[in-house]
Structure 1
């Protein structure tokens, strides 16, 4: 049974989009220094080493990881291997505006996957909330003039982000389906995340090997800028954000949680404005209001209908 959207749950789900928005900015800045799939491998390798003292027990026989290797292999593929690799690849080959525009479809994918594969029919409130939030995202992307969206051109890199978005939606739904049959790992957040990273690193290593064998990218430009970037994305957008997102999804459900992902484009716009010295504009405030309104509308539960024959029922 999912909880209501309390202030604490809202904070849990608002912090990951902020961290992921900063991840997009950092990923764009270091794109000339390291190939995208290699960056993803470095990111999760550092995260693995940081988490190891807290969750090395999860790798031992009998922990539950190996008996459920198919489940964690799929979670690692979707959440660590595919999503992050495709996101960095999109940042390498597409524009930030296009990547953000495609990423704004996450709530739609959440609703579709929940309906098609998990038997969850979206309510009218959820559909209305998704619509409001998406309008808010489009307002940010168009700088307050929705007519400018007609001039946006999509390139092959946008397909990578579309696949990444679908991968993340599927991953988020799977997070709600692993508690009953795996209480040992799910009772310890570090162990549960370690189980995903362990398999995710195998996928990321395979993708990176393919990158170097097939694409033959330019050599990695090692140095303090790249080291600082890898450390940041390993600690913030990886460990902290995944922990908070997983906890938030389990508490309020994937459909409602998916709407919070629409805060990422707004945060990205604000971070970009900060880096280039521009102040936030009026349309940022309007967009924020629309995104929050979408979350509030979706989170409201319909009023209970009076029982037949009660004074309130009018019978």
Structure 2
């Protein structure tokens, strides 16, 4: 049996797909499984033994042309509700082609039928979640497990997977053990949070009685320089992916506004506090919440007036204190 799985979007979403991928492997142990990623997110799968082959969709090649290289497969599953992944899967011509989209994306529901012959409909809808605070949305992991079940993969595996090696841990071994890790991303500095407020938050986290380690991706640019004087044991920018994950593995708690970092922390099984954007909080805090770890999900304030910022900082500090003292 030959299987193609496709997910070409974000790193965090591919991490959330690893239980579904492991479920496909456990359900079809003798199958040859090809994983299609983008060049950006392929790092998640580079060490994953649940697949036999890893290929990346080149930007310059149309998904239909790329997918046609896999015309001899029996099962193809689009793990993301995106046109690119659906088109890859459709072009395989597999007897069973599985994908999903959202209930109120009516055009997508119509066009998806050209590419897949088994389709799931996700209940995730940001507008409906905001209108109805009691609306339940399953975690993305659970939705993906149901998706692969449509293709016959029913021997479920629930755990997220990232494969650290001893050299990854050795690269960060000089860091203090069980620190609070504050991961910086641009959303700390916009939409109900500011650079100055985040610097003050870092100072307060450093005063909680555990070492503070600050990590950051390249997107924040020179803003990282503002954190040199917050009392952190280390300020680390743009680490290699698995070294970054190894920092999280050492953490007593990870603090972030970034869903990718949230899912890396969950894969490392570390307590996590995540502050989601104010808009569509009810959806995000269900579908992309920390997975199977102690956690707090906070809603960023609507505005960045000082009273709102101070209240937000207090919520973060209190939440972290609860997690590290649990």
How high is the TM-score relative to the length of structure 2?
0.24
Higher strand content, 1 or 2: 2
Higher helix content, 1 or 2: 1
How high is the TM-score relative to the length of structure 1?
0.24
